[in-house]
Amino acid sequence: MDARQEAVSVLDAAPALPGEETSRVGLTAAACDLLRALRAQHGPLMFHQSGGCCDGSSPMCYPDGDFITSEADVRLGTFDLDGEGISFWMSAEQFEYWKHTHLTVDVVTGRGSGFSLEAPEGKRFLIRSRLLVVPG
């Protein structure tokens, strides 16, 4: 994908923040396909986006519950992928910087340097962002 092209979300997460009706995060078709394959291998999944050092701009995909969330994390939404939920979490500190952005989870070829489940597949998830538009 050309860096100037916007990734197209084909599946938006149901909003999870109190009072919100607009999705903050979406998945591309490529992300949906990879998640289906990973779910077949690992069972239920989750995402966490941190502001940390290891692929800090890449969302990390884990078996659901393997990454322990706390009050230091914000659930931005939950995807309904073929009837099964995949939650998307972000550290609260990172959310303060990104609260005005819509995030689209996409897939590129290449191996990330983290512990995300897709690493052995020769692919990695990454975030493409745009301004969050809230209907008024």
Average model confidence (pLDDT) for the chain?
A: 90
Give pLDDT, residue 134: 84
Q: 113 Cβ partners below 8 Å, 6+ apart?
A: 54, 55
Report how far residue 16's alpha carbon sits from residue 22's, in angstroms, rounded to the nearest whole number: 9
70-103 confidence digits (pLDDT tens): 999 999 999 999 999 999 999 999 999 999 999 9
- pLDDT for residue 2 is more than 50: no
Q: Is the pLDDT of residue 66 over 90?
A: yes
Would you say residue 45 has pLDDT above 80? Answer: yes
Is this prediction's pTM over 0.95?
Answer: no
DSSP tag of 57: T
Quote the pLDDT of residue 50.
72
- CATH class of the domain whose range is 11-131: mainly beta
